[in-house]
Amino acid sequence: MFAVGWGANQFSPMLIVYRHALGLGPGEIAGLFAVYGIALIPGLLIGGPLSDRFGRRAAVLPFAALSPVATLLLVIGGHDLALITAGRALAGLCSGMVFGSATAWVQDLSRGDALSARRAALALSAGFGLGPVTAALLAQWAGDPLVVPYLPHLAIGAAALAIAVTAPGTRPARHPAARRWPPPGVRSREFWLTVAPPAPVVFGSLSLALVVLPEEVTSARTMSAAYAGLMTALAFAAGIGVQPAARRLAARSAQAGVIAGLAAMLAGAVISAAAVAAASRALAGIAAVLLGLAYGLCLVCGLSQAERLASEHDRGAVIACYYVLTYLGFAAPYAVDGLNGALGRPGTFGVLAGGAAVLIAWAGLQAARARTASVLSPSRTERAYSRSSP
């Protein structure tokens, strides 16, 4: 998960390099950003169920091996837009096939302990964070910025694959639930009322910090890969650092951590509005920290909720569906671009803050509903007594 996450996100600061080196326009940059998601979504929807039916190892290892191949395409085709696009598409497919299946594999090997969601989120976040930071630093100060930034992933991907082949596999599920689509956990009312609504905030908050804010507070002339790397480091450091607290909140209440994450999103959007109004890099850095907190809190708590709704027979499919919803958040840059024309930059972030406030109210309502249901429902002892009584 760490290595494939590195390979997936190392490309983010490189968009700036390609824009200057190849003279790419906004449409081509947006296309390179979008092709990853276009390939990733089918990978998630296929990989999770396949891992339930045929085992985690069979779904994960082949695409973990292809992840460095995707990077190799970027190295070979540094000046060829078609090869760059192919590399990004393959990286998206590898991510989709690996993330849901590997998260379920981590949970299988964790045997359902409370740390399983945090382990998966930590591995993914560390790869997501260190990949682009390293690529940004190498692109800024090392030689050949279209090649050198990708070399670390070639080594990391090979090493991770060598380690992963030694991990114990899990037995494929023979239960009929492994063949049902969508899985029962995803068809449940709780999934769509509590898990689905805040899921896009996971990567929506990140895309604001990594893609939108660096462009909004700098000009094309002053924009640098190093500054994009700094924003990435701030967001992911916050997202990783908050994960122990997120696990404790998730253990206390299904909605407590989600509400905390949405509150961080609300605060980050408000600070972002001030940052873009003043073109302040310092305020943008503060906003990146808050948006990173939103990412870490919502990811860990969302994964914990998805775990509880999944059975051992359809865990991969349920988690994959959750990831699909989180990746919808990567549409945020396009939404911001569309709203900027009508509302202006600060106004757009004001709308995002309002959306976060609505989600906070919704999550609070679901938490209150869950508390009421637990109070009104009879205890296990009472139910057992009522069944044994004449």
Residue closest to 335 by CA, chosen among 41, 96, 11, 30:
30
Residue closest to 54 by CA, chosen among 104, 129, 20:
104
CA dist 214 → 231, 281, 288, 349, 364 (Å): 7, 8, 10, 14, 32
CA atoms within 13 A on the CB side of 3: 28
The predicted structure's pLDDT at residue 386: 41
State the distance between the two ends of the chain, measured CA to CA, in whole angstroms.
Answer: 55
Place of tokens 């001030």: 274
Residues of the chain under the 70 pLDDT cut: 26, 112-114, 171-180, 219-225, 374-390
Instruction: Give the pair of three-digit tokens for residue 6.
Output: 């590195």
The predicted structure's pLDDT at residue 382: 40
The predicted structure's pLDDT at residue 175: 56
For residue 241, give every residue at least 6 positions away whose Cβ sits within 8 Å of its Cβ, in sequence order, or none.
296
Q: Residue 317: in which H helix or E strand, if any?
A: helix 315-327
* Helix, strand or coil, per DSSP, at residue 80: coil
- Dist CA 268 CA 51 (whole Å): 37
- Dist CA 145 CA 142 (whole Å): 7
User: Amino acid letter at 168?
Assistant: P
User: Amino acid letter at 15?
Assistant: L
Query: Rounded to the nearest 5 degrees, what angle is found at the Cα of 234, between the Cα atoms of 351 and 221?
Result: 75
Please give the DSSP secondary-structure letter assigned to residue 279: T
- Dist CA 67 CA 94 (whole Å): 6
User: Amino acid letter at 321?
Assistant: C
The predicted structure's pLDDT at residue 179: 64
Domains and CATH numbers, the chain: 2-382 (1.20.1250.20)
Neighbour-count burial of 46, counting CB atoms closer than 10 A to its CB (0-12 exposed, 13-18 middle, 19+ buried): middle
Angle between helices 56-76 and 2-9 (to 10 degrees): 30
Neighbour-count burial of 109, counting CB atoms closer than 10 A to its CB (0-12 exposed, 13-18 middle, 19+ buried): middle
Query: Rounded to the nearest 5 degrees, what angle is found at the Cα of 238, between the Cα atoms of 236 and 244?
Result: 110
CA atoms within 13 A on the CB side of 162: 6
The predicted structure's pLDDT at residue 379: 46
